[in-house]
Amino acid sequence: MEESIPAGSVKLKETGSLLTGKFTTATDVSDIDALVKKALEYKADPYKDSQLGARKRIGLLFLNPSLRTRLSTQIAARNLGMEAIVFNVDKEGWQLEFEEGAIMSGNTSEHVKDAAPILGSYFDILCIRTFPSLVNRADDYSELYISEFIKYCGRPVISLESATLHPLQSLTDVITITEQVQQRSADFKGRKPKVVLTWAPHVKPLPQCVANSFSQWMCAWQGKSEFVITHPEHYELAGEFTSSATIEYDQDKALKDADFVYVKNWSTYNDYGKIFENDPSWMLSLEKLQLTRQARVMHCLPVRRNVELSDEVLDSTHSIVTQEAGNRVWAAQAVISELLRR
């Protein structure tokens, strides 16, 4: 694997690229604002680089379901003139083995060591989605699947969501906040936006990926926001992703004067993959939003209505989830474009 560089640091000097050669974490990005700018330029003019990817192919490999990631990444690639091919590995492919030295006498039929180089010979860029097991924290947090894939495929890799992170979503979220701040510049004169990530109830244990990733990007987007995370006790995220975040267990306190409220459920990290809390009072309501500065409400989607987020909030003018999901295209286009230029 390539060595990562600190996010938000200077542009990579040798290549002039904004990425290390892959896109799996915020630390693959040398200049977040420059990547956001690039994405917003594509939003303004989607076909301005319509020949950049001509005669090139991108492979989108899914080991788990998707709506937004799958479609937005295909659209982004096509806007750049690339051929995009989706392969639902979980349903249509051989079950892959990722363990080095595995004795493959169980359910797995093909080792990533054999499959990845072949895929690398078919495609110019490879993208992969691999969710965590939520059973073994050490395995999930070692990012075994995506790391093995990167090791053996020999191509630039884009994470479509891995065991611990969802960088395309987080880049999208930074784009959306930037866009909102630009559109309402008078509201933000002389101050940074207050961004609150709040835990919400859910019926199933969900991965920490979106929350980890959002926090990682907010911390890497140095000095651009006042970032607060609020959750019940025992829902602490991994410290490696929350370095400069303020943690506040009182949701009302956290919401005070917020400009953006990012709603997401996650299961426990410390006692791994559990649901310790399902108090519906953690669900965001219009009443709670009164504490904020008319905050815009974000969510990566899909969302369970009236469990994780109420109809009254999702259907109100606070919600920017559709704008946010729409921006997935421009985030993917900026990332693919950077990898094509290398």
Partners of 88 in the β-ladder: 62
Query: CA 102 to CA 281: how far, in whole Å?
Result: 46
328 is in an annotated binding site: yes
202 binds ligand CP (CB under 6 A): no
Q: Which window, 100-108, 194-202, 300-308, 332-340, contacts ligand CP (CB under 6 A)?
A: 300-308
230 binds ligand CP (CB under 6 A): no
169 is in an annotated binding site: yes
Contact 33, 321 (CB under 8 A): no
330 is in an annotated binding site: no
Nearer to ligand CP, 30 or 265 (CB): 265
169 binds ligand CP (CB under 6 A): yes
88 binds ligand CP (CB under 6 A): no
Nearer to ligand CP, 43 or 151 (CB): 43
Name the one residue in this structure whose structure tokens are 């421009």.
330
Nearest distance, CB of residue 324 and ligand CP, angstroms: 9
Neighbours of 201 (CB within 10 A): 18
Query: CA 245 to CA 82: how far, in whole Å?
Result: 38
Nearest distance, CB of residue 290 and ligand CP, angstroms: 28
339 is in an annotated binding site: no
Nearest distance, CB of residue 185 and ligand CP, angstroms: 28
301 binds ligand CP (CB under 6 A): yes
Contact 282, 235 (CB under 8 A): no
State which H helix or E strand residue 257 sits in. none
Nearer to ligand CP, 238 or 301 (CB): 301
| Interface characters, 113-152, with ligand CP (x: CB under 6 A) | ----------------------------------------
Nearer to ligand CP, 115 or 300 (CB): 300
Q: Where are the alpha helices (DSSP H) in the chain?
A: 32-44, 68-79, 89-92, 112-122, 137-141, 144-153, 167-183, 209-220, 251-255, 286-289, 311-314, 321-326, 328-341
State which H helix or E strand residue 224 sits in. none
Q: Which residues are annotated as a binding site for N(2)-succinyl-L-ornithine?
A: 161, 202, 264, 304
